[in-house]
Amino acid sequence: MLDADLAAQVEQDMRAVPDPEIPVITIDDLGVIRQVETADVDGRPGMRVTITPTYSGCPAMHAMADALAEAGRAHGIPVEVVTRLSPAWTTDWMSEEGRDKLRRFGIAPPTGERAHAGPPGPVPVGLQLRVVTCPQCGSDDTEEVARFGSTACKALRRCLACREPFDEFKTI
Amino acid sequence: MSSTDVRHVHYLLGLGDDALVYAQRLGEWLTHAPQIEEDMALGNVGLDLVGQARSLLTRAGEVEGADPLRDEDDLAMLRDEREFRNVQLVEQPRADFAHEMARLLWFSTYQRELYAALLDSTDETLAGIAAKAVKEVDYHRDHATQWVLRLGDGTPESHERMQAALVAVHPYVAELGEDHEAARWAAEQGVGVLPSSLTDAVNGYVAGVLEQATLTPPDPPRWHARGGREGVHSEVMGYLLAEMQHLHRSHPGATW
Domain boundary among A56, A83, A110: A83
CA B143, CA B42: separation in Å to the nearest integer?
Answer: 10
Tens of pLDDT along A103-128? 999 999 998 877 654 334 444 445 55
Which among B41, B43, B129 has CB closest to A85? B129
Q: What pLDDT score does A57 carry?
A: 81
Q: Taking CA atoms, what residue in B is nearest to A57?
A: B51
CA A134, CA A158: separation in Å to the nearest integer?
Answer: 8
CATH number for the domain spanning B124: value is 1.20.1260.10
- What is the domain range of residue A36? 4-83
What ipTM was assigned to the predicted interfaces of this complex? Answer: 0.79
| CB-CB neighbors (< 8 A) of B145 in chain A | 116, 123, 125
Q: What pLDDT score does B195 carry?
A: 98
Q: What pLDDT score does A54 carry?
A: 87
Q: Taking CA atoms, what residue in A is nearest to B212?
A: A125
| CB-CB neighbors (< 8 A) of A90 in chain B | 135
pTM of the model: 0.90
Which among A59, A88, A123 has CB closest to B205? A123
CA distances from A41 to A6, A18, A38, A81, A82 (A): 16, 24, 9, 10, 12
Tens of pLDDT along A116-165? 543 344 444 455 567 899 999 999 999 988 888 888 889 999 999 999 99
Q: What pLDDT score does A127 carry?
A: 52
CA distances from A84 to A33, A78, B131, B248 (A): 10, 19, 12, 28
Cβ distance A86 to B127 less than 8 Å, yes or no, reads: yes
A106 and A44 share one domain: no
A75 and A97 share one domain: no
Q: Taking CA atoms, what residue in A is nearest to B202?
A: A121
Domain boundary among A31, A62, A83: A83
Cβ distance B37 to A148 less than 8 Å, yes or no, reads: yes
Q: Does residue B45 sit at the A interface (CB-CB below 8 Å)?
A: yes
| CB-CB neighbors (< 8 A) of B51 in chain A | 53, 55-58
Q: Does residue B62 sit at the A interface (CB-CB below 8 Å)?
A: no
A33 and A103 share one domain: no
For testing contact with chain A, the best of B47, B72, B141 (most A CBs within 10 A): B47
Q: Does residue A119 sit at the B interface (CB-CB below 8 Å)?
A: no
Cβ distance A123 to B47 less than 8 Å, yes or no, reads: no
Q: How far is A4 from chain B (nearest CA, A)?
A: 33
Q: What pLDDT score does A133 carry?
A: 93
**Residue B30 exposure: Cα atoms within 13 Å on the Cβ side:** 11
Q: How far is B249 from chain A (nearest CA, A)?
A: 23
Cβ distance A147 to B127 less than 8 Å, yes or no, reads: no
Q: Is B256 part of any domain? A: no
Q: What are phi and psi of B102, to 5 degrees?
A: -65, -45
Cβ distance B208 to A172 less than 8 Å, yes or no, reads: no
Q: What residue spans of chain A are helical by DSSP H?
A: 4-15, 27-30, 60-73, 96-105
B254 three-class SS: coil
Cβ distance A89 to B133 less than 8 Å, yes or no, reads: no
Q: What pLDDT score does A121 carry?
A: 43
Q: Does residue B143 sit at the A interface (CB-CB below 8 Å)?
A: yes
Q: Does residue B72 sit at the A interface (CB-CB below 8 Å)?
A: no
Number of independent structural domains in chain A? 2
Tens of pLDDT along A22-45? 899 999 999 999 999 999 998 999
Nearest to B143 by CA among B51, B255, B40: B40
A75 and A14 share one domain: yes
Q: What are phi and psi of A50, to 5 degrees?
A: -105, 125
Cα angle value B102/B134/A81 (rounded, 5°): 130
- What is the domain range of residue B184? 6-250
Q: How far is A15 from chain B (nearest CA, A)?
A: 23
The Cβ of residue B225 has, within 10 Å, a number of other Cβ atoms equal to: 21
Do A162 and A134 contact (CB within 8 A), yes or no? yes
A44 and A104 share one domain: no
Domain boundary among A83, A108, A141: A83
A78 and A102 share one domain: no
Q: HEC string of B186-205?
A: HHHHCCCCCHHHHHHHHHHH
A101 and A58 share one domain: no
- Residue A89 pLDDT > 70, yes or no? yes
Q: What pLDDT score does A148 carry?
A: 87
CA B52, CA A17: separation in Å to the nearest integer?
Answer: 26
Number of independent structural domains in chain B? 1
- A86: enclosing H helix or E strand: none
Q: Taking CA atoms, what residue in A is nearest to B131?
A: A88
A76 and A97 share one domain: no
| CB-CB neighbors (< 8 A) of B135 in chain A | 88, 90, 172
| CB-CB neighbors (< 8 A) of B123 in chain A | none
User: pLDDT 10s digit of each residue in chain B, 256 long?
Assistant: 446 899 999 999 999 999 999 999 999 999 999 999 899 999 999 999 999 999 999 999 999 999 999 999 999 999 999 999 999 999 999 999 999 999 999 999 999 999 999 999 999 999 999 999 999 999 999 999 999 999 999 999 999 999 999 999 999 999 999 999 999 999 999 999 999 999 999 999 999 999 999 999 999 999 999 999 999 999 999 999 999 999 999 998 887 7
Cβ distance B205 to A57 less than 8 Å, yes or no, reads: no
